Amino acid sequence: MRATVAVLASAWLWVVSGWAGGNSGVIAATIAISLYSIMPQPIAIARQMLIGCALAWVAGLFFNFFLLPHLDGFLLLAVALAPFIAIGSYVGTFPPTAAIGLGFGIYFCFLGNLGNPMVFNPAGYLDAGIATLMGIAIASLAFATIVPQGGHWLAEQYLKQLRQLVAADICRSPLAGLRLHFETHIRDFIQFAGSRPPAGRAGQAELLGWAFAALEIGLGTIALREITARSVLPVTWERRQSDLLAALSALFRAPSPATFGAAVLVLEQTIAWTGRIASPAAAEARATLHAMRLSLLDDALPLVGVAGGPDAR
């Protein structure tokens, strides 16, 4: 939604105003949105990107109209470009200024627009620079005002998606590619959780707790399903596994004391059942089930807190 608003706003200004360089604003907004969408703190990054773009604009002005006309051949061009690229890369190596270096490197190349033959148009360059800064500003404004990254609502939606990932995908989806799909989503969620405040509503501690609970239970469930897929177990195992997956799915879909108690009970019954089966596959499944039970009962994770009765979101 934020990307759509930012691109449409940039395009609308371009079309309505008849601005010759307005296309640069649309492209710059698109680039900025692509970068912001993968950043844990896009609003803070936006300021640095604007600074980096402004510095790149000034540096490009010097390079294009004071340095480039005196160069002859590719070797001199490469030597002249090297300091600018090196400066942007060096600034980007420091965490406090990483986005400034990134913005400088991207927009120096974008605004420079080197070609063969080269067209020297100072007015067009200045126009493209203003449009680029405008596009970045529009993208930054969209990310700051439309469903802000730091808002509670967005964090709660991420948390619901995480629970749904375990409740639906891990328990029901085909196994092919499921582990990679799951680990990728967990990584993205942990990256988002790291940008949240340490405590409070939908804070970092709570989100990371749910992330590790989902990780441990999810990987255990995948391992259990993989054992079933490659091993021969008694016919009644299918029903046992189905009951367990249903209980775990209900727990993550609607965390409550009732669903927590039901999941623990079914898990313990399944452990007891595997203890009566003398086979390597049953022993492997029992070890996995014990690890899942320990994860459910780990008081460092939020599932035990759910059993205590607080309202789940």
pLDDT at 311 over 80: no
Which pLDDT tens digit goes with each residue over 86-141?
999 999 999 889 889 999 999 898 888 887 777 788 888 888 889 889 988 888 88
Query: How many other C-beta atoms are found inside a 10 Å radius of the C-beta of residue 247?
Result: 21
Residue 227 lies in a domain: yes
Residue 312 lies in a domain: no
Torsion angle, alpha carbons of 280, 284, 285, 291, to 10? 160
159 and 262 housed in the same domain: yes
Confidence label for 305 from pLDDT (cuts 50, 70 and 90): low
Total tally of structural domains belonging to the chain: 2
125 and 187 housed in the same domain: no
The answer to whether 210 and 203 are in contact (CB under 8 A) is no
The answer to whether 92 and 20 are in contact (CB under 8 A) is no
Torsion angle, alpha carbons of 147, 153, 155, 160, to 10? -120
CB-side exposure of 304: number of CA atoms within 13 Å?
Answer: 10
Which pLDDT tens digit goes with each residue over 37-71?
777 677 778 888 889 999 999 999 999 998 988 88
Torsion angle, alpha carbons of 84, 88, 91, 96, to 10? 150
Confidence label for 312 from pLDDT (cuts 50, 70 and 90): very low
Q: Which of 125, 145, 165 is the last residue of a domain?
A: 145
76 and 133 housed in the same domain: yes
Query: Could you list the residue range(s) of the whole structural domain that residue 296 is in?
Result: 152-307
18 and 76 housed in the same domain: yes
What is the spatial distance between Cα 26 and Cα 15, in angstroms, rounded to a whole number? 11
184 and 289 housed in the same domain: yes
Residue 115 confidence (pLDDT): 76
158, 181, 171, 172: which is closest to 248 by C-alpha? 171
Residue 42 lies in a domain: yes
Plot region of 234 (φ>0 → left; ψ -120 to 50 → alpha; else → beta): beta
Residue 149 confidence (pLDDT): 59
Residue 313 lies in a domain: no
289 and 206 housed in the same domain: yes
49 and 170 housed in the same domain: no
| CB within 8 Å of 43: residues ≥ 6 apart | 140, 143, 144, 148, 149, 150
175 and 300 housed in the same domain: yes
158 and 118 housed in the same domain: no
Average pLDDT, the chain: 85
257, 264, 273: which is closest to 309 by C-alpha? 257
Residue 198 confidence (pLDDT): 65
What is the DSSP code (8-state) at residue 301? S
Residue 310 confidence (pLDDT): 41
181 and 283 housed in the same domain: yes
pLDDT at 82 over 90: yes
161 and 301 housed in the same domain: yes
Confidence label for 224 from pLDDT (cuts 50, 70 and 90): very high
Q: Report the percent of the chain where pLDDT is more than 90.
A: 35
Residue 119 lies in a domain: yes
Q: Which of 101, 129, 145 is the last residue of a domain?
A: 145
Query: How many other C-beta atoms are found inside a 10 Å radius of the C-beta of residue 188?
Result: 15
Residue 251 lies in a domain: yes
162 and 127 housed in the same domain: no
Which pLDDT tens digit goes with each residue over 234-279?
888 889 999 999 999 999 999 988 999 999 999 999 999 998 888 8
Confidence label for 13 from pLDDT (cuts 50, 70 and 90): confident
Q: Which two tokens stand for residue 282?
A: 């049953």
Q: Which of 145, 176, 204 is the last residue of a domain?
A: 145
Which pLDDT tens digit goes with each residue over 137-167?
888 888 777 766 556 777 788 889 999 999 9
What is the spatial distance between Cα 29 and Cα 50, in angstroms, rounded to a whole number? 11
